[in-house]
């Protein structure tokens, strides 16, 4: 579990750690016009790898896929620190994403191998807490490194942790024997990549780098749609499909995936712009703004771990119902912040958001794993992770477009037309960076700086309000998740081939023996 946790921490941490170090990286390497690719390359590679890694881990065992992912991730991290250009760094981020995409779903599926549903909650809760920790501590670590060291250590700091995790996993990871099955669904992999890659790029570039109506964006959307249709046809005919559509016949899996998607849209859309608000509006340093997001992590860890330890008594349903309203309330309170707000207000409101987030994120997966066949545990877990990853991408893209459109309106309302025309841009991120750069801020009149700050304040808090509304909708999916008692150790390891009928002939001792044999025989 230590090796799994560290691997998952590294993979999820690298999604957020680069943000606060970006100005220093751009100052050294140049290539400001390519900076968004540092996020896009990692996100794209990770999203593509998640479903493929989950399926392959069902076929080949978890250990080789996890180890391969860790090696890829560390190789990308090592080379990234030696980058001499933005293009080289982007390639390294892509390699990191390929590795990171294998770590998270395989770690969660391995927990399902080792623990029965009644005992799995506390472990999944801990992994959920790690995911929450990385989401909010990433900006703090990135800010601390660039304030005290150099930008390359943003990537090299992964190496000692990764090496330790690799050693632990190589020694202690359960070794499942490979079992010959139908050929790998290569055509499914090709069509899935063809569907995800242009679709995610269209979401990332649309409305920013290129207009939504540009031939390139429309072409990528059309190609993605064609490949989705091809993927469906291929999967229906495949002997061993990459994503078995039979999974969606289970309503808990379907509703849980939808809930994770909705929560990720609201969560990443808000968290992605929170550091900008704390720095550009409330005037905090990169390090201090990172520290101020720690309450979000603490709140999430509290409910994630608490729900995990109480899951055997309460089941997952109560936590799925209370999480969305609490998280939505916290986001609504964040929308009331302004430049004169005290740091204590921001701390309390973020802690409330974290409490709601921790109650839900891992419990959706626990609920689905409880009813999934063990032979498809990896692909089911990775599919849910895929929906969460896509939701985060949609959230950041959607909220970024809304933010920039809102900034145009706010600048027009807060500045005279002749002054607004002098601004080099209306991009919220770029205007925020101008306020944070002492040299640029020194040449801008004070009244224009205040107008920019007020416009940023109103625009970002508007996003927080939208995030609250979006997250509240996940209450509907939570309400539709069936309440199914969690399987005990005897029930889980005594299940039939399809994972739904319990063998009454398997006594407790045999179940324990079956559980121990997970190190010797494959899931299938």
The domain spans of the chain are 2-173+240-487, 185-239, 489-524
Q: What is the CA radius of gyration of the chain?
A: 23
Q: DSSP string covering 80-140, please?
A: HTT--SHHHHHHHHHHHHHHHHHHHHHHHHHHHHHS-HHHHHHHHHHHHHHHHHHHHHHHH
The sign of the torsion formed by the CA atoms of 118, 122, 125, 126 equals negative
236's enclosing H/E stretch is helix 215-237
Residue 155 Cα distances to 2, 10, 75, 168, 291, angstroms: 21, 10, 10, 21, 20
Structure tokens at 486: 């969690």
Q: What pLDDT does 262 receive?
A: 93
Q: What is the b/e burial string over 179-218, where b = at least 16 CB atoms within 10 angstroms of the residue's CB?
A: eeeeebbebbbebbbbbbbbbbbbbbbbbeebeeeeeebe
CB-based contact 102:66 (threshold 8 Å): yes
Q: How many CA atoms lie within 13 A of 61 on its CB side?
A: 17
Residue 502 DSSP label: B
Phi, psi values for residue 421, rounded to 5°: -70, -20
CB-based contact 303:359 (threshold 8 Å): yes
Q: Is 491 exposed, middle or buried (0-12, 13-18, 19+ CB in 10 A)?
A: middle
What long-range pairs does 215-222 form, CB within 8 A, spacing at least 24? none
CB-based contact 137:13 (threshold 8 Å): yes
Q: What pLDDT does 301 receive?
A: 81
Q: What is the pLDDT of residues 192-233, one digit of tens each?
A: 888 888 887 887 777 667 787 888 889 989 998 998 899 889
**Which residues are within 8 A (CB) of 504 and not within 5 positions of it... i.e. 6 or more apart?**
none
Q: What pLDDT does 136 receive?
A: 63
Separation of first and last alpha carbons in the chain: 22
Q: What pLDDT does 139 receive?
A: 66
Q: What pLDDT does 477 receive?
A: 93
CB-based contact 10:103 (threshold 8 Å): yes
Residue 32 DSSP label: G
Give the Cα-Cα-Cα angle 43, 46, 50 (nearest 5 degrees). 140
Using the structure block, give the residue that is written with the tokens 């099955």: 181
Name the CATH superfamily housing domain 2-173+240-487: MFS general substrate transporter like domains (1.20.1250.20)
Q: What pLDDT does 35 receive?
A: 65
Q: What is the pLDDT of residues 444-495, one digit of tens each?
A: 777 777 888 888 888 889 999 999 999 999 999 999 998 888 777 666 666 4
CB-based contact 103:7 (threshold 8 Å): yes
Give the Cα-Cα-Cα angle 321, 135, 41 (nearest 5 degrees). 120
Q: What pLDDT does 23 receive?
A: 63
372 torsion bin: left (phi>0), alpha (psi -120 to 50), beta (else): beta
**Which residues are within 8 A (CB) of 209 and not within 5 positions of it... i.e. 6 or more apart?**
36
Q: What pLDDT does 21 receive?
A: 67
Residue 234 Cα distances to 116, 166, 237, angstroms: 34, 36, 5
Q: What pLDDT does 495 receive?
A: 46
Residue 279 DSSP label: I
The Cα 215–Cα 202 span in angstroms is 11
CA 188 to chain centre: 24
Closest CA to 437 of 449, 455, 427: 449
Strands (E), 383-425: none
Q: What is the b/e burial string over 396-413, where b = at least 16 CB atoms within 10 angstroms of the residue's CB?
A: bbbbbebbbebbeebbee
CB-based contact 320:260 (threshold 8 Å): no
* Intervals of the chain under pLDDT 50: 495-524
């Amino acid at each position: 579990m230590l090796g799994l946790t560290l691997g998952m921490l590294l993979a999820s941490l690298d999604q957020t750690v680069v943000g606060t170090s970006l100005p220093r990286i751009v100052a050294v390497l140049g290539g400001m016009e390519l900076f968004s690719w540092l996020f896009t390359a990692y996100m794209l590679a990770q999203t593509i790898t998640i479903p493929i890694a989950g399926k392959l881990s069902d076929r080949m065992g978890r250990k080789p896929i996890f180890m391969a992912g860790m090696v890829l991730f560390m190789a990308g991290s090592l080379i990234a620190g030696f980058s001499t250009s933005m293009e080289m760094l982007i390639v390294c981020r892509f390699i990191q994403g390929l590795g990171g995409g294998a770590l998270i779903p395989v770690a969660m599926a391995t927990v399902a191998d080792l623990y029965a549903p009644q005992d799995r909650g506390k472990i999944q809760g801990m992994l959920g807490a790690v995911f929450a920790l990385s989401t909010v501590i990433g900006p703090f670590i990135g800010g601390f490194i660039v304030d005290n060291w150099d930008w390359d250590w943003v990537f090299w700091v992964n190496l000692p942790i990764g090496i330790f995790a690799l050693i632990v996993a190589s020694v202690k990871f359960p070794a499942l024997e490979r079992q010959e099955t139908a050929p790998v669904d290569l055509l499914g992999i090709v069509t899935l990549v063809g569907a995800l890659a242009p679709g995610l790029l269209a979401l990332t570039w649309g409305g920013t780098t290129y207009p939504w109506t540009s031939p390139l964006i429309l072409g990528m959307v059309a190609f993605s749609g064609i490949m989705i249709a091809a993927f469906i046809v291929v999967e229906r005919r495949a002997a061993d499909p990459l994503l078995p559509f039979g999974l969606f016949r289970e309503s808990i899996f379907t509703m849980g995936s939808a809930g994770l998607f909705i929560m990720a849209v609201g969560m990443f859309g808000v968290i992605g712009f929170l550091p900008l608000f704390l720095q550009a509006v409330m005037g905090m340093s990169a390090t201090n703004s990172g520290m101020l997001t720690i309450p979000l992590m603490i709140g999430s860890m509290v409910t994630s771990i608490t729900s995990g330890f109480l899951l055997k008594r309460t089941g997952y349903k109560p936590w799925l119902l209370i999480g969305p309203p609490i998280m939505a309330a916290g986001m609504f309170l964040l929308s009331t912040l302004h430049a004169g707000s005290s740091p204590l207000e921001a701390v309390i409101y973020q802690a409330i958001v974290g409490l709601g987030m921790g109650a839900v994120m891992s419990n959706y997966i626990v609920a689905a794993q409880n009813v999934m066949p063990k032979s498809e545990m990896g692909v089911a877990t990775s599919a849910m992770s895929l929906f969460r990853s896509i939701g985060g991408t949609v959230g950041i893209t959607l909220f970024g477009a809304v933010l920039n459109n809102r900034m145009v309106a706010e600048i027009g309302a807060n500045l005279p037309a002749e002054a607004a025309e002098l601004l080099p841009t209306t991009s919220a991120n770029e205007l925020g960076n101008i306020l944070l750069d002492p040299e640029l801020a020194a040449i801008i009149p004070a009244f224009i700086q205040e107008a920019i700050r007020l416009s940023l304040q109103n625009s970002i808090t508007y996003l927080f309000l939208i995030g609250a509304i979006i997250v509240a909708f996940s209450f509907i999916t939570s309400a539709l998740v069936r309440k199914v008692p969690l399987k005990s150790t005897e029930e889980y390891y005594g299940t039939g081939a399809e994972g739904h009928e319990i063998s009454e002939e398997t006594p407790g001792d045999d179940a324990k023996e079956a559980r121990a044999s997970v190190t010797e025989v494959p899931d299938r």
